[in-house]
Amino acid sequence: MMNHMSILVLPPIDVQVIECKQSEAERDFYEALFKRSKVQFDQKNREYVLKEFSGSKENMVLLMSLKAGGVGLNLTAASNVFLMDPWWNPVVEEQTIMRIHRIGQKRVVRVRRFIVKDTVEERMQEVQTRKERMIL
């Protein structure tokens, strides 16, 4: 996992990354790893956080939950998405991805899902696949 992240986050420097996860402890871990301070991604701070992320060469990683990423955002400053925790409903993940892959995006969008074998996340992925088949 860290190999994927270091390859995409460090070189080239102009690549911005959205990382989505649910766990507060996991979010704290990545904030420490990327030396980011914790900013609540709520309605009050949302505009500020997005402006900083979109216009900065220093803020290259945006940590947010899937729920925050699926709500009316334009995140075309990023071109990489790391989905760290799956969600029971595949539409929630798809909405987050589409916030990056939309009109105005000038780069190829890369999505990486991290699923650990023999965990609840692997089971969630199976449920997602079954739900997607029912929709199609």
According to the model, what pLDDT value does residue 9 have? Answer: 45
In this prediction, residue 13 has a pLDDT band, given cuts at 50, 70 and 90, of very low
**Domain 2-135 bears CATH identifier 3.40.50.300:** yes
Work out the percent of the chain whose per-residue pLDDT is above 70.
65
| Higher per-residue confidence, 63 vs 121 | 121
Query: What is the 3-state secondary structure of the chain?
Result: CHHHHHHHHCCCCCCCEEEECCCHHHHHHHHHHCCCCCCCCCHHHHHHHHHHHHHCCCCCEEEECHHHHCCCCCCCCCCEEEECCCCCCHHHHHHHHHCCCCCCCCCCCEEEECCCCCCHHHHHHHHHHHHHHHHC
Mean pLDDT of 18-29: 67
Please say if the pLDDT value at position 35 is more than 80. Answer: no
Average pLDDT over residues 22-35: 67
Would you list the domain boundaries of the chain? 2-135
What confidence tens digit (pLDDT) does each residue in 53-94 have? 787 776 677 777 776 665 677 888 888 888 888 787 788 888
**Tens-place pLDDT, residues 97-114:** 888 888 889 889 988 888
Q: Is the pTM of this model over 0.85?
A: no
Residue 15: predicted pLDDT = 57
74 or 33, greater pLDDT: 74
- Identify the pLDDT of residue 42: 66
Question: What is residue 136's predicted lDDT score, i.e. its pLDDT?
Answer: 65
